């Protein structure tokens, strides 16, 4: 199968459901303040054949923060347990349309594997196309997956601190403008209000169509990035609340031909808790809409 790119439509996937070369994964995450449980919803309804991609398992279990990127050996073991090997085309989706599925794409790329796509518009688009869902757990046969060479697409706080001080690379924050400015209560209890000094803001949802929740066309993505003040000649570190929606910014940059970016895995859930790391609480340079 020729690689169709990082985004596929519901119709494209429907025509290939049941293809043994494809493994569909439901990569939904719901934060505690939503009162929703992603696995429970997966059991109730998912794209036929989809396995559940559990970010609580595909994670660094030694890190007190949730959903942090695991070591290569852990990643490989958990991916193999999902019935994925190095000949598998992985299709990731989430329930809201696009929220957490981009992190699956990012982690695979970080570990040198490119045969991964995202269902554009997620389960919302699948249902809107009148396509069937199924319930229950999907049983898969464990396979062997091997990571490639790490691409260095993950940034940690020391690099982000240096970037904050020097302006290189630039920092782009995917949170809401209110959380970025410190005028809106953050979704991560215990974090301070504000943003990383010197960072810019591009709310991740402003990269999606408001109705379909599909990613905007490339020209619109370029416009949003330029509107946020992203310099096309400087690399970018991407941040958000906990490392989920920063990956949507990464996907947008990739689709516009840029791969000079890293995702700050700790994001505000880490930075906002550490009293030794500086913050700005006043509005900084901002893109996107409230």
Point out the residues that are catalytic.
Answer: 240
Q: Name the residue among 238, 244, 228 with its Cα closest to residue 262.
A: 238
Non-local (6+) Cβ contacts of 73 within 8 A are none
Comparing C-alpha atoms, which of 234, 246, 235 is closest to residue 202? 246
Crossing angle of the two packed helices 246-255 and 218-227, in degrees rounded to 10: 120
CA dihedral 232, 236, 242, 244 (to 10 degrees): 50
Alpha helices (runs of H) in 138-217, residue ranges in sequence order = 157-166, 177-181
Q: How far is CA 36 from CA 102, 185, 190, 199, in A?
A: 20, 20, 21, 31
Query: Which residue(s) pair with 236 in the sheet?
Result: 170, 261
* Crossing angle (nearest 10°) for helices 101-110 and 246-255: 70
């Amino acid at each position: 199968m020729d690689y169709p790119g990082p985004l596929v439509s519901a119709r494209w996937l429907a025509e290939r459901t049941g293809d043994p070369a494809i493994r569909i994964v439901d990569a939904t995450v719901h934060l505690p303040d939503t009162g929703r449980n992603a696995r429970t919803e997966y059991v109730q309804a998912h794209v036929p054949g989809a396995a559940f991609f559990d970010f609580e398992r595909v994670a660094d279990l030694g890190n007190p923060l949730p959903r942090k990127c695991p070591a290569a050996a852990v990643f490989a073991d958990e991916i193999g347990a999902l019935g994925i090997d190095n000949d598998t085309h992985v299709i990731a989706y989430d329930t809201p349309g696009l929220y957490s599925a981009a992190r699956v794409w990012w982690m695979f790329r970080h570990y040198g594997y490119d045969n991964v796509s995202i269902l554009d518009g997620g389960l919302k688009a699948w249902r809107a196309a009148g396509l069937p869902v199924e319930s229950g757990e999907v049983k898969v046969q464990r396979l062997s997956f091997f990571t490639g060479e790490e691409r260095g697409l993950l940034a940690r706080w020391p690099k982000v601190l240096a970037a904050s001080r020097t302006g290189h690379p630039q920092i782009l924050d995917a949170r809401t403008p209110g959380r970025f400015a410190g005028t809106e209560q953050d979704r991560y209890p215990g974090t301070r209000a504000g943003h990383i000094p010197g960072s810019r803001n591009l709310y991740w949802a402003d990269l999606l169509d408001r109705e379909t929740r599909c990613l905007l066309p490339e020209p619109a993505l370029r416009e949003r990035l330029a509107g946020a003040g992203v310099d096309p000649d400087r690399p970018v570190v991407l941040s958000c609340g906990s490392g989920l929606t920063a990956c949507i910014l990464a996907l947008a940059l990739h689709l516009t031909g840029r791969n000079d970016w890293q995702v700050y895995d700790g994001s505000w859930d880490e930075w906002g808790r550490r009293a030794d790391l500086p913050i700005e609480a006043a509005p900084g340079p901002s893109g996107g809409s409230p």
